[in-house]
Amino acid sequence: MIADALTGQRIFITGSTGFLGTALVERLLRCAPGCDLVLLVRPGRRSSAAQRVQREVLRNDAFDRLRHELDDFDAECARRIQVVAGDVGVDGLRLDHEGREALASCHTVIHAAAAVAFDSPLDRAVEVNLLGPSRLAEALHAVGAVAHLVSVSTCYVAGNRRGRAPEIPVSDTPFGPDVAWRDEVTAARRARADTEAESRTPDRLHHFAKRARAELGAAGVPLLANKAEKLREAWVADTMVEIGRARARALGWPDAYAYTKALAEQALSETRGDLPVTIVRPSIIESALAEPRPGWIRGFRMAEPVIITYARGLLREFPGIPEGVVDVIPVDLVVAAVLDAVARGPVPGTDGPSPPPIVQVASGSTNPLHYRHLVDLVHDWFSQHPLYDAKGQPIVVPRWTFPGRGRVQGQLQRAVKVIDVAERSLATLPLRGGQARWAAGLEERRGDAARALGYVELYGAYAETEAVFGVDELLARWSTLDATDRATFCFDPRVIDWDAYVMSVHLPSVVEHARVRATPGGRSGRSRTERLRQRVLAPERQLAAFDLENTLIASNVVDSYAWLATRRLNPVDRARFALRALAEGPSLLALDRKDRGDFLRHFYRKFEGAPRAQLEEDATELFTWLLLTKSFPAGMRRVRHHRRLGHRTVLITGALDVVVERNLGPLFDDIVCARMGTVDDGRRWSGELLAAPPTGEARAQAMADYADAEGLRLEEAVAYADSASDLPMLEAVGFPVAVNPEVRLAAIARKRGWLVELWSKAPGGPRPPLPIGPVTRRTSFAAAADSERR
């Protein structure tokens, strides 16, 4: 019996935080109570290996059944599981003394760790997938362990071949490429170095900086630099993905995953020495048939993203061969086949130069699921159980016509380009609020099209595969099992009823894990916006920081300057001023987008020589005639609401102190603003600021300094702003709020799930085409300043 054969064994497992690895740990704990486990886990940035096991493995719902069956689940895990830190992606596995001793004490090693994404960067796939098994073999030799290595590979090492793919070594595959795996490792590492070097050339760095500014605007040097570096890293990763994809397809494999797994088998065969090895090759692993419960799945595998995208009506077509076989195998059958290999131990006569035994766990040759049948099942299920759109209406799923992959890719590529052009065009327009949110929705549609294109590029080859994976060895092993083992460790693919599995097990599980809307009608309970607003206005918040322009008032420094400069001019001179301002508009817009601080300095220079008393008097009138009529009543109420809750309120603005302090001071606890110096014994303004205006990252620093001085925590702070240039302030707090956001900020807020408030001016206020105010015979401050300069 398998359970008896596992009794007394210490089993070393890699990849326990993954889908297959978690299922292996659960089944061993539940069905083989006499064995102990050693889990090799790579520490996280902020968590140890043991913490990762607790959080990512043992808390998974796969263990719910075991928790119910055991009196003390935690004690059982502590008794039977040892966690060691390490990494199969580096030479030596990064094992410390404890890890080496644990490895030396084990009887069997199950290697299930892998970079399973089909679009992994080439060098990452090489280090983990190709070299991982050989590194384990080397580590076993280094500690003197006498252990059996069970290495999990994939059926798709057979490549893009047609016809039967038997359980034989890759090197023995007819018509296969003759590739030296060591040369491939060297080439992949060199490609990474070359790509990194290329990403740091002046032209590339300029390109990344330009893209960062296009996405974030004048968000400040630190944020722009950080964004540019992220774009550089993404470009390197994307380039390495494309290099891997091109190399794999040139050699006859669908992607870098299958390519590196195939070379890993060759490398292990050459480097294992006398180490006994068994290779288990599953096909496409999907949700559980029965164990630990029907439909159990961890994360989305290959088919799930495609299925959900189809169910949402976003994937109108997908390539594939109708009569082709989609070789799917439930995860619990793979687990059982692996544990059967562990229980059998080394096969006599295969611990030397002889090829290791290979067991393929697949369904296509004995119980095929044809592509058309699968598509029909999915269509029928979602026709009976549709997903629902934002309005609560059912989404009608299309019927696929099985076009070629090239045609579908072409359609989606064109769609992405069209949406991309429209999105860039809208980004240049001065859209705000609801209009900007519509533009941000366009970005979401582009993302949907890009994801659909990615699925076609990644998985299209698997839908068009014509290989039939043989399972002779698998069935031969199955034939030797007694009734008890067959019931407890089933790995016979012939037991699967595909209609029942797809319709009653897999698709309900996919919908449950996708967190999509599966019920009709309007949403019950509070909306997402209401829930976010409740969190923002919770009593435990400590600080509320507000921007002014386009956040609390529909005005800006240009409006204020124009009003002040023209207040005492006659209508003709006002019109001349307006024409000059319009002519200067494009250069001012460019300056504002480049650097908000320089933009403010440019305007405040115009106040040089202005009489201080006159400007202070006019500033009071400015509040009544302009700012008050353009204010957002909902914004003003929000400030008062925060104060009623006991939150500290602070206004952080680049507007001048002479304008905001005397007019808005009573509304806030404190104001941080731009301050201008004086000359002529304080009688005239100098036109120069006393300190850098609070813009970009300076706003975030001013808010942080204020919170520190007041003993407040930014994690419990709220920030309100309207522009991507305010990102540093918004990102610094625990609860950012985008108010009437411009296009860039609307897109960012949508991606990050921030609260968006759309506040409007009170109806009925004056909307003159030119600045208005009582015309007097006194000279305007601008004329007075000009006279002073002359």
The predicted-structure confidence for 658-674, as pLDDT tens digits, reads as follows 888 878 888 999 999 88
Q: Structure tokens of 699?
A: 């706003």
Angle, alpha carbons 69-72-74 (nearest 5°):
110
Beta strands 717-721; 735-739: pairing state: parallel
SS (H, E, C) 730-773: HHHCCEEEEECCEHHHHHHHHHHCCEEECCCCCCCCCCCCCCCC
Predicted confidence (pLDDT) at residue 779 exceeds the cutoff of 70: no
Omega into 292 within 30° of 0, i.e. cis? yes
* DSSP 8-state secondary structure symbol assigned to residue 710: H
**Cβ contacts of residue 660 below 8 Å, gap of 6+?**
548, 651, 653, 671, 673
How many CB atoms within 10 Å of residue 278?
Answer: 25
Q: Where are the alpha helices (DSSP H) in 251-330?
A: 256-271, 303-311
Q: How far is residue 332's CA from residue 312's CA, in Å, rounded to a whole number?
A: 29
Nearest to 150 by CA among 338, 335, 19: 338
Contact 298, 514 (CB under 8 A): no
Residue 774's pLDDT band (cuts 50, 70, 90): very low
Q: How far is residue 7's CA from residue 613's CA, in Å, rounded to a whole number?
A: 92
Provide the pLDDT for residue 351.
58
Three-state DSSP state, 282: strand
Nearest to 721 by CA among 749, 698, 753: 749
**Cβ contacts of residue 272 below 8 Å, gap of 6+?**
134, 137, 149, 356
Residue 33's pLDDT band (cuts 50, 70, 90): very high
Provide the pLDDT for residue 776.
45
User: Average pLDDT of the chain?
Assistant: 85
Q: Which residue has the higher pLDDT, 366 or 619?
A: 366
Predicted confidence (pLDDT) at residue 400 exceeds the cutoff of 60: yes
Residue 777's pLDDT band (cuts 50, 70, 90): very low
Q: What's the whole-model pTM score? A: 0.79
Q: How far is residue 454's CA from residue 684's CA, in Å, rounded to a whole number?
A: 63
Residue 17's pLDDT band (cuts 50, 70, 90): very high
Q: Which residue has the higher pLDDT, 631 or 445?
A: 631
Provide the pLDDT for residue 445.
67
Q: In Å, what is the CA distance from 54 to each residue of 81, 88, 130?
A: 11, 20, 28
**Cβ contacts of residue 286 below 8 Å, gap of 6+?**
297, 301, 302, 303, 328, 329, 330, 331, 506
* For residues 226-243, average pLDDT: 94
Contact 19, 299 (CB under 8 A): yes
Q: How far is residue 97's CA from residue 142's CA, in Å, rounded to a whole number?
A: 12
Predicted confidence (pLDDT) at residue 750 exceeds the cutoff of 70: yes
Q: How far is residue 493's CA from residue 723's CA, in Å, rounded to a whole number?
A: 57
- Over residues 641-652, the pLDDT tens digits come to 999 999 999 999
> Is residue 686 exposed (0-12), middle (13-18) or buried (19+ Cβ within 10 Å)?
middle
* For residues 11-25, average pLDDT: 95
Q: In this predicted structure, which of 238-252, 552-566, 706-720 has the lowest mean pLDDT? A: 552-566
Rg of the chain on CA atoms, in Å: 33
Q: In Å, what is the CA distance from 173 to each residue of 159, 170, 182, 719?
A: 10, 5, 19, 63
Go through the domains of the chain in sequence order and give each one's CATH number: 185-250 (no CATH), 302-320+370-466+495-523 (no CATH), 533-766 (3.40.50.1000)
- pLDDT above 90 covers a percentage of the chain that reads 50
Q: How far is residue 603's CA from residue 687's CA, in Å, rounded to a whole number?
A: 9
Predicted confidence (pLDDT) at residue 210 exceeds the cutoff of 60: yes
- pLDDT above 70 covers a percentage of the chain that reads 85
Contact 151, 268 (CB under 8 A): yes
Helices 303-311 and 371-384 cross at an angle (nearest 10°) of 40
* For residues 51-63, average pLDDT: 94
Q: In this predicted structure, which of 229-238, 311-320, 340-349, 490-499 has the lowest mean pLDDT? A: 311-320
Provide the pLDDT for residue 773.
47
Provide the pLDDT for residue 340.
96
Go through 439-456 and write b for each residue having 16 or more CB atoms within 10 A of its CB, e for each that does not.
Answer: bbebbeebebbbbbbebb
Provide the pLDDT for residue 593.
65
Three-state DSSP state, 594: helix
- DSSP codes joined into one string, 471-525: -HHHHHHHHT--HHHHHHS---GGG--HHHIIIIIIHHHHHHHHT---S-SSPPS
Predicted confidence (pLDDT) at residue 657 exceeds the cutoff of 90: no
- Over residues 407-460, the pLDDT tens digits come to 666 766 676 677 666 666 666 556 555 555 656 566 666 666 666 666 666 666
Contact 517, 388 (CB under 8 A): yes
Contact 470, 283 (CB under 8 A): no
